[in-house]
């Protein structure tokens, strides 16, 4: 007859399930907060003393008796949900967070020793101390869990427990803490962002170093939030702080507004025919974007705000965008909270052992990702439309605006901000309306100015390429304009007041000998030699567009005749100059004026290119 056999659990299991499983300090704190929540605590007090590397966590939950400590807290794998996983709520009706009974091991990953002290309304204080040094020795000696006896908690744990205003609760003191240089602001904001239990029970409060953690700890992120989209049925203390971003979504381009529809999940959303039937599950929460990608960084740390999945008030998957990649620009600006409380359902545990991820093939989780993929596409498109309207960098992969429009918008907006910063702070708001109007006009003008600049300078190079390379190559009337002295007897009344294209009007006027007169005028202002301000390729740079277009109207000094560069544009020169001068004088074209400008300049460029490329 065979001898009796039984399972023995090696202490190395603590490494696999606890000390090596949890690496994020916030996750470790989160396990303690979640335990307090499951114990129906109304308050959790967290204190971090960096000088002594000590973390203390106190809650006023129902606490533990000595038997509870052994049979529940120290029993690896114990779950409040029962063997079938059907017990899903605490005595006060809160949905349980814990499920596998191993989250408590997270505490072992970031401290040398952990002291636990607890009491209930019917039992006195009890406690124990867990030492990582002793656990290491037990693992080295290949001991089983039954062979390891824990010592009593340190006196400070019982003293902390005595400070409770209630007759029940639990105190934890972690000595030799390893916090990865996490600053207090970062920890407060991470707690505020990662634990939204107040959405389910507003009487639950978390305190860090004696000050309650609230959404106000996310003030910096909220202030840098530009747009926000709400899922229907969402309203809480966080989204109340995003009213400015929600309104901006509605009002920036009202006719293009995108509103997230009511989103109800079922297993068919994931396309899995064999998934078990589930009740309809609604998604709530919000998706938001910041002004710039760098605004997602949390208080100077390497951590970034991301689009996170919450279940019953706690983060269950950080950065779910990694599972919905799009390569779209807006993705770099996005953060938010997706709440799917129905993901935690009876008879199913959809979370990984580390409690920081959802099991990938869970049907409801797949349905969530499928719905979000569709919603995000619409949000990205809406985001781009609004960014274009605000003259800010958008998503060039869309057809909502041309590349030159986007570039002009960004240049105008950047220039406006530089000028705005020069105003006294108290005056900036007063001038904002004017400055923003100028952004629109500057953006339009820069596009037309750039086109005019290219056309006119390309024309000069085409003429040089056509053989007009030196002074002697120029037609006689061009040489007269550029180099001959003016007729001193010509009355000033014959001078043109604008950039006239009529060569006869210029004949004998002070506009002759343009090269010398321009250089003399600039020299009088101190701009010559090393301080010269004009960059020229050739003397053709001194000619106006009207003269350039009529360049080949006559023969050169050798009597040779050249064909016109742009005959039809030459006939329309007065119209072109009218439009050109409006832009060059920093005024703004009307809608019809813009259409005319594009029509005439496009035709001019086509004629120039035809001239340059024909034999």
Where residue 504 falls among pLDDT bands split at 50, 70, 90? very low
Q: Look at residue 142 in the predicted model and tell me its pLDDT.
A: 74
Question: By percentage, how much of the chain surpasses pLDDT 70?
Answer: 81
CA 509/CA 19 separation, integer angstroms? 92
Using the Cα atoms of residue 318, residue 324, residue 327 and residue 331 in order, give the sign of their dihedral.
negative
Whole-number Å distance between alpha carbons of 439 and 417: 10
Tell me the C-alpha to C-alpha distance, in Å, between residue 213 and each of 13, 208, 360: 35, 6, 32
The CA distances from residue 384 to 258, 333, 338, in Å, are: 12, 12, 22
Please state, in angstroms and rounded to a whole number, the distance separating the CA atoms of residues 58 and 208: 11
**CA–CA separation, 122 and 112 (whole Å):** 32
pLDDT tens sequence across 208-243:
999 999 988 899 999 999 999 999 989 888 999 999
| pLDDT tens-digit map of 510-547 | 446 888 889 899 999 999 888 999 898 889 999 888 88
Angstrom CA distances, 69 to 101, 114, 158, 173, stand at 13, 14, 15, 16
How many other C-beta atoms can be found within 10 angstroms of the C-beta atom of residue 108?
Answer: 24
In whole angstroms, give the CA distance from residue 104 to residue 114: 11
- Tell me: pLDDT of 182 over 80: no
- What's the pLDDT score for residue 295? 93
* Angle in degrees, 0-180, between the axes of helices 363-389 and 243-251, rounded to the nearest 10: 70
Instruction: Give the pLDDT score at 153.
Output: 94
What pLDDT sits at residue 178? 76
* Residue that the structure tokens 């004629």 belong to: 607
Burial of 471 (0-12, 13-18, 19+ CB in 10 A): middle
Query: What does the pLDDT look like over 134-151, one tens digit per residue?
Result: 877 877 777 776 667 889
Of 33-37, 55-59, 344-348, 513-517, which gets the smallest average pLDDT? 344-348
Q: Which residue in 581, 578, 590 sits closest to 441, CA to CA?
A: 590
Q: What pLDDT score was predicted for residue 506?
A: 44
Beta pairing class for 126-131 and 113-119: antiparallel
Alpha helices in 50-197 (DSSP H): 66-68, 132-140, 155-162, 184-194
Locate 483 and state its tokens.
């180099």
How confident is the prediction for the chain on average, in pLDDT? 83
What's the rounded mean pLDDT across residues 425-443? 92
Give the model confidence (pLDDT) of 329-374 as tens digits. 999 999 999 999 888 777 677 776 555 678 888 888 888 999 999 9
Rounded average pLDDT over 432-453: 92
Burial class (CB in 10 A: 0-12, 13-18, 19+), 124: exposed
Per-residue HEC secondary structure of 463-520 comes to HHHCCCCCHHHCEHHHHHHHHCCCCCCCCHHHCCCCCCCCHHHHCCCCCCCHHHHHHH
Contact 90, 116 (CB under 8 A): no
Q: Where are the domains of the chain?
A: 12-180, 217-389, 403-436, 445-613
Q: Which helix (H) or strand (E) holds 14?
A: helix 12-14
Q: If you classify domain 12-180 with CATH, what class do you get?
A: alpha beta
CB proximity list for 292: less than 8 A, separation 6 or greater: 224, 333
pLDDT score recorded for residue 99: 56
Q: How far is the C-alpha of 314 from the C-alpha of 406, rounded, in Å?
A: 40
Split at pLDDT 50, 70, 90, the class of 562 is low
Tokens 């934890």 belong to which residue?
Answer: 172
| Choice between 7 and 44, residue whose per-residue pLDDT is larger | 44
Range with the poorest average pLDDT among 149-153, 165-169, 188-192, 269-273: 269-273
* pLDDT tens digits, one per residue of 369-388: 999 999 999 999 999 999 99
CA-nearest of 88, 94, 92 to 344 is: 88
Secondary structure element (H or E) that encloses residue 430, with its range = helix 425-465
Q: Is residue 207 pLDDT above 50, yes or no?
A: yes
Angstrom CA distances, 204 to 34, 101, 313, stand at 11, 22, 11
Long-range contacts of 492-496 (CB under 8 A, 24+ apart): none
What helix, strand, coil percent values describe the chain, rounded to 5? 45, 15, 40
The average pLDDT across 304-326 equals 89
What letter does residue 154 receive in the DSSP assignment?
P
Q: What is the pLDDT of residue 489?
A: 44
First to last CA, the chain: 108
Give me the mean pLDDT over the 145-168 stretch.
Answer: 89
Indicate if the pLDDT at residue 30 is higher than 60: yes
**Both tokens of residue 465?**
């390429």
User: What pLDDT does 108 receive?
Assistant: 74
In a 13 Å sphere around the CA of 328, the CA atoms on its Cβ side amount to 21
Question: What does the pLDDT average to over 580-607?
Answer: 93
Question: Which residue, chain included where needed, has tokens 């969402």?
Answer: 234
The conformation of residue 599, written as its DSSP 8-state character, comes to H
pLDDT tens per residue across span 235-285: 888 999 999 999 999 999 999 999 999 888 765 544 444 444 555 788 999
Choose the weakest-confidence range: 78-92, 158-172, 498-512.
498-512
Task: Please provide residue 35's backbone torsions phi and psi, each rounded to the nearest 5 degrees.
Answer: -65, -40
Q: Token pair of 422, please? A: 């020069």
Q: Say yes or no to pLDDT of 490 above 50.
A: no
pLDDT value of residue 560:
42
What pTM, to 2 d.p., does this model score? 0.73
Q: Is 79 helix (H, G, I), strand (E, B) or coil?
A: coil
Q: Where do we find the tokens 């740390």?
A: 301
């Amino acid at each position: 007859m065979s001898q009796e056999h039984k399972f023995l659990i090696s202490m190395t299991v603590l490494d696999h399930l606890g000390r090596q499983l949890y690496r994020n300090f916030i996750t470790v704190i989160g396990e303690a907060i979640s335990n307090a929540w499951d114990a129906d605590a109304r308050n959790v007090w967290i204190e971090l003393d960096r000088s002594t590397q000590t973390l203390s966590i106190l809650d006023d939950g129902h606490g533990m008796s000595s038997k509870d400590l052994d049979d529940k807290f120290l029993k690896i794998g114990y779950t409040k949900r029962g063997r079938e996983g059907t017990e899903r709520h605490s005595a006060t009706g809160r949905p349980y967070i814990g499920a596998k009974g191993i989250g408590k091991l997270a505490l072992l990953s970031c401290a040398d020793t952990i002291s636990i002290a607890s009491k209930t309304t019917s039992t006195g204080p009890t406690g124990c101390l867990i030492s990582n040094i002793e656990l290491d020795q037990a693992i080295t000696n290949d001991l089983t869990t039954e062979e390891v006896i824990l010592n009593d908690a340190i006196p400070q744990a019982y003293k902390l427990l005595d400070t409770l205003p209630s007759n029940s609760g639990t105190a934890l003191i972690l000595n030799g803490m390893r916090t990865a240089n996490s600053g207090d602001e970062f920890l407060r904001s991470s707690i505020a962002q990662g634990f939204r239990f107040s959405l389910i029970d507003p009487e639950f409060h978390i305190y860090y170093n004696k000050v309650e953690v609230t959404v106000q700890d996310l003030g910096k992120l909220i202030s840098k939030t530009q747009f926000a989209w709400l899922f229907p049925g969402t309203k809480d203390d966080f989204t109340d702080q995003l009213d400015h971003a929600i309104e901006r979504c509605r009002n920036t381009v009202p006719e293009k507004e995108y509103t997230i529809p009511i989103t109800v999940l079922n297993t068919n959303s994931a396309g899995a025919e064999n998934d078990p039937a589930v009740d309809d599950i609604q998604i709530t929460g919000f998706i938001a974007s910041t002004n710039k990608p760098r605004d997602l960084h949390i208080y100077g740390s390497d951590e970034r705000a991301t689009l996170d999945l919450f279940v019953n008030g706690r983060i269950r998957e950080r950065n779910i965008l990694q599972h919905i990649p799009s390569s779209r620009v807006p993705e770099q600006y996005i953060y938010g909270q997706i709440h799917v409380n129905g993901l935690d359902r009876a008879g199913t545990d959809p979370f990984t052992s580390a409690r920081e991820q959802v099991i990938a093939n869970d049907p409801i989780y797949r349905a969530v990702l499928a719905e979000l993929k569709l919603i995000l596409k619409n949000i990205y498109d809406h985001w781009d439309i609004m960014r274009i309207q605000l003259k800010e960098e958008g998503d060039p992969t869309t057809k909502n605006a041309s590349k030159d429009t986007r570039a002009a918008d960004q240049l105008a907006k950047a220039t406006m901000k530089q000028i705005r910063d020069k105003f006294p702070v108290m005056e900036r708001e007063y001038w904002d309306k004017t400055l923003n109007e100028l952004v629109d006009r500057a953006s339009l003008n820069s596009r037309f100015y750039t086109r005019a600049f290219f056309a006119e300078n390309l024309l000069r190079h085409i003429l040089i390429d056509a053989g007009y390379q030196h002074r002697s190559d120029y037609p006689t009337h061009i040489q007269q304009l550029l180099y001959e002295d003016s007729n001193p007897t010509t009355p000033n009344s014959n001078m043109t007041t604008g950039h006239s294209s009529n060569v006869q009007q210029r004949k004998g006027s002070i506009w002759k000998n343009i090269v010398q007169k321009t250089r003399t005028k600039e020299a009088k202002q101190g701009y010559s030699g090393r301080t010269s301000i004009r960059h020229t390729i050739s003397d053709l740079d001194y000619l106006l567009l009207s003269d350039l277009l009529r360049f080949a109207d006559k023969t050169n000094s050798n009597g040779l005749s050249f064909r016109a560069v742009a005959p039809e544009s030459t006939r329309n020169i007065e119209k072109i100059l009218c439009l050109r001068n409006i832009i060059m004088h920093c005024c703004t074209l009307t809608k019809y004026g813009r259409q005319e400008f594009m029509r005439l300049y496009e035709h001019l460029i086509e004629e120039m290119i035809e001239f340059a490329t024909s034999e």
